[in-house]
Amino acid sequence: MAEMTYAQLDKALASVGFTVGVVTTKKKLRVYEHPETGARLTLAFRPDDQTVLPHHLAAIQGTLKVYGIADPLNSAVEPQKAS
């Protein structure tokens, strides 16, 4: 999987209209919202320079598909290589 950081992810999602906020309740969360479609995605907070976890990437891509939002990650993420 390509090395994409959470900071790069934030920029990619902002390019298609998402806003991002950090919320602290019992745990610190990264909350993405797409006002135009109402899409909302909440992920456990990870540092900006950390590589995006595979299950976070899958959740984001699933949300984009469900809401019909262009996927800015297609060009940003290389396919996983077989070993």
- Which residue ranges form the domains of the chain, and what is each CATH number? 6-67 (3.30.920)
pLDDT of residue 26: 85
Query: What pLDDT does 23 receive?
Result: 92
The segments of the chain whose pLDDT lies below 50 read 1, 77-83
DSSP codes, 35-60: TTTTEEEEEE---TTSBPPHHHHHHH
Per cent of the chain over pLDDT 90 is: 75
Instruction: Give this prediction's pTM.
Output: 0.80
